[in-house]
């Protein structure tokens, strides 16, 4: 008999019919001569109750514990018990894999998120993480679907690269050399001539530069892949390995890039609301329980569904850096020196506390786009504005998350690009191919980077980014 996924079992058409289902036991209880099992196969947040009568062999029942994998052959019937519409009366049960109740870490009780991070190889089996990773999948599908419907070409940019897109130097080195036997050049630098690639290489921090090359021939492209930052930030917002969505669009300006980011985010969030109702409802209940234990001022102002719909129902707020700077400078927290980083001089980069104030206090939990940042705090490839002190950049801020998108119109003018590279000490020889693109048929173009895990965080309501990626990579942690 072909297995039926549990998500498809809750259908009147199966009522009274023989079915086969397989999954992992979430919970087992006994009442007189009858055993009840809650079974889940990962296809849905909902468990199906299995009723095992006394004709099931006792030696099989003794092997069934939380975590045990089984296949059940039986009949779907209407349930007389509370809490479920259907249940399966088992005719036979096959043990696929045992789980010793004295050793299996996930017992039928509420576990802390810290504990589940330590057991990340098993946390997929919990309701919370089952819901998170089904939503993560839905968001990934929605993003690909969106770009396909908009006529974008999906490309794959290198994971191993010889260039530092951001210029920050926080990169993971890739080498086959024995580091204890590194040869040195006359100037004391490491000689990579005998390395695998014959030069210094690193894991990519962004596929943007390569995506620009593709857009300048294919028009509209996007990447969706892993990126790496060797940034020693042990916070709830940072990972050393994460996924980025990076579209690049030829013949576009900053306003078009902003509109694209808003359209993409609203499409993706709406897709989850329409297709992941049960998972969203479960996470919403979980967050409400969490909030009930917090002080009133620390609670979320909206439940999860209302927050997501709030994002869909309003245009994103758009302000420039000057406006944001004045709002923050004149704010009560700044005047009363409640901010850790006081806003006093034009040109400072905004910190997470400033982003939080703008989105949550000033603009009532609406996403905010800030444009035209000072050139000195942005990358060399961003287009210089006519004032010669700002660049055509944008950061998109979400409530509870902070920056979720960073983008810009790219500097297409060769002489200005080279001046900016000189100013920021970017090696022209290393990026000769990038400069070439401005020599041969340059056009106005732009793009952005969307941090996928931060989007998953926002949609699921999870407060720690380590809980929205299967196996988080953070400072001092590369387990699993």
DSSP-assigned states of every residue in 343-408: --STTPPPPHHHHHIIIIIISTT--EEEEEEEGGGS-TTBPBPTTSSEEEEEEEEETTTEEEEEEE
- Give the integer Cα–Cα distance in Å for 127 and 343: 43
State mean pLDDT over 325-337: 97
> Which residues contact residue 165 at a Cβ distance below 8 angstroms, ignoring those fewer than 6 apart?
204, 205, 206, 208, 209, 379
In the predicted structure, residue 453 carries a pLDDT above the cut 90: yes
Burial tier of 310 (Cβ tally within 10 Å: 0-12, 13-18, 19+): middle
Average pLDDT, the chain: 94
Write the burial class of residue 394 (CB in 10 Å: 0-12 exposed, 13-18 middle, 19+ buried): buried
- Confidence (pLDDT) at 177: 87
- Cβ atoms within 10 A of the Cβ of 239, count? 22
pLDDT at 38: 96
Mean pLDDT of 238-247: 96
pLDDT at 461 over 70: yes
Assess contact for 201 and 161: CB atoms under 8 A.
yes
Question: 3-class SS at 288?
Answer: helix
Q: What are the chain's domains?
A: 6-109 (2.40.50.140), 127-170+205-467 (3.30.930.10)
Q: How confident is the model at residue 168 (pLDDT cuts 50, 70, 90)?
A: low
pLDDT of amino acid 165? 72
How far is the C-alpha of 108 from the C-alpha of 235, rounded, in Å? 30
According to the model, what pLDDT value does residue 167 have? 63
- How does pLDDT run across 334-373, given as a tens digit for each residue? 999 999 999 999 999 999 999 999 999 999 999 999 999 9
- pLDDT confidence of residue 53: 85
The helix or strand, by DSSP H or E, that contains position 477, with its residue range, turns out to be none
Rounded distance between C-alpha atoms, residue 125 and residue 418, angstroms: 53
DSSP symbol at 212? H
Q: Is the pLDDT of residue 323 over 70?
A: yes
User: What is the secondary structure of 60-93 as a DSSP string?
Assistant: HHHH--TT-EEEEEEEEEE--STT-SEEEEEEEE
Dmax (CA) for the chain in angstroms is 84
Say what the pLDDT of residue 187 is. Answer: 81
Query: Which pLDDT band, with edges at 50, 70 and 90, does 217 fall under?
Result: very high
Give the tens place of pLDDT for each residue, 113-148: 999 999 999 999 999 999 999 999 999 999 999 999
In the chain, the percentage of residues whose pLDDT exceeds 90 is 82
pLDDT digits (tens, 9 = 90+) for 386-409: 999 999 999 999 999 999 999 999
Tell me whether strands 160-161 and 201-203 are parallel, antiparallel or unpaired. Answer: antiparallel
Q: Of 142, 124, 141, 121, whose CA–CA distance to 45 is shortest?
A: 124
> Does the pLDDT at position 45 exceed 70?
yes
Closest CA to 90 of 72, 69, 65, 63: 72
| Confidence check: pLDDT of 276 > 90 | yes
Reported pTM:
0.94
Q: How far is CA 63 from the centre of its chain?
A: 38
CA distance 74 to 21: 9
Is residue 169 predicted with pLDDT exceeding 90? Answer: no
Please state the rounded mean pLDDT for residues 225-241: 89
Rounded to whole angstroms, the Cα distance separating 266 from 261 reads 9
Q: What is the tens place of the pLDDT at every residue in 47-82?
A: 999 999 877 778 888 899 999 999 999 999 999 877
Structure confidence at residue 464 (pLDDT): 95
**The pLDDT of residue 209:** 96
Residue 125: the pLDDT is 96
């Amino acid at each position: 008999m072909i297995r039926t996924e549990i998500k498809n079992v809750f259908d009147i058409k199966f009522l009274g019919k023989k079915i086969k289902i397989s999954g992992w036991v979430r919970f087992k209880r006994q009442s007189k001569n009858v055993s009840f099992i809650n079974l889940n196969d990962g296809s849905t947040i909902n468990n199906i109750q299995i009723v095992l009568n006394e004709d099931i062999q006792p030696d099989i029942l003794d092997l069934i514990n939380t975590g045990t994998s089984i296949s059940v052959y039986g009949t779907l019937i209407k349930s007389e018990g509370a809490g479920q519409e259907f249940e399966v009366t088992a005719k036979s049960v096959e043990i696929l894999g045992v789980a010793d109740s004295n050793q299996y870490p996930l017992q039928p009780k509420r576990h802390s998120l810290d504990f589940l991070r330590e057991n990340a190889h098993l946390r997929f089996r919990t309701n919370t993480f089952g819901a998170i990773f089904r939503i993560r999948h839905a968001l990934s599908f929605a993003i690909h679907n969106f770009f396909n419907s908009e006529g974008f070409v999906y490309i794959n940019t290198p994971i191993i690269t010889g260039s530092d897109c951001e210029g920050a130097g926080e990169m993971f080195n890739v080498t086959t050399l024995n580091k204890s036997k590194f040869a040195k050049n006359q100037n004391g630098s490491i000689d990579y001539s005998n390395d695998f690639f014959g030069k210094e290489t690193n894991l990519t921090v962004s596929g943007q530069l390569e995506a620009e090359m593709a857009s300048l021939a294919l028009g509209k492209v996007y990447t969706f892949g892993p990126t790496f930052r060797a940034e020693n930030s042990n916070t709830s917002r940072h990972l050393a390995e994460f996924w980025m969505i990076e579209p690049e669009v030829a013949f576009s300006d900053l306003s078009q890039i902003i509109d694209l980011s808003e359209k993409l985010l609203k499409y993706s969030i709406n897709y989850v609301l329409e297709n992941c109702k049960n998972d969203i409802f479960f996470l919403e209940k979980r967050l409400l329980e969490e909030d009930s234990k917090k002080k009133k001022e620390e609670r979320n102002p909206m439940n999860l569904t209302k927050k997501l719909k709030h994002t869909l129902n309003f245009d994103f707020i758009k302000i420039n850096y000057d406006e944001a700077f004045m709002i923050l400078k004149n704010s009560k927290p700044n005047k009363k020196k409640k901010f850790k980083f006081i806003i006093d001089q034009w040109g400072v980069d905004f910190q997470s506390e400033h982003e939080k104030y703008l989105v949550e206090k000033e603009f009532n939990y609406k996403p905010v786009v800030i444009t035209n940042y000072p050139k000195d705090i942005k990358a060399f490839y961003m287009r210089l504005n006519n004032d010669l002190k700002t660049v055509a950049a944008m950061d998109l801020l979400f409530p509870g998350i902070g920056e979720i998108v960073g983008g810009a119109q790219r500097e297409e003018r060769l002489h200005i690009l080279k001046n900016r590279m000189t100013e920021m000490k970017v090696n022209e020889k290393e990026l000769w191919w990038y400069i070439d693109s401005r020599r041969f048929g340059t056009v106005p173009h732009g793009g952005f980077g969307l941090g996928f895990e931060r989007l998953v965080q926002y949609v699921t309501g999870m407060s720690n980014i380590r809980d929205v990626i299967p196996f988080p990579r953070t400072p001092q942690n590369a387990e699993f």
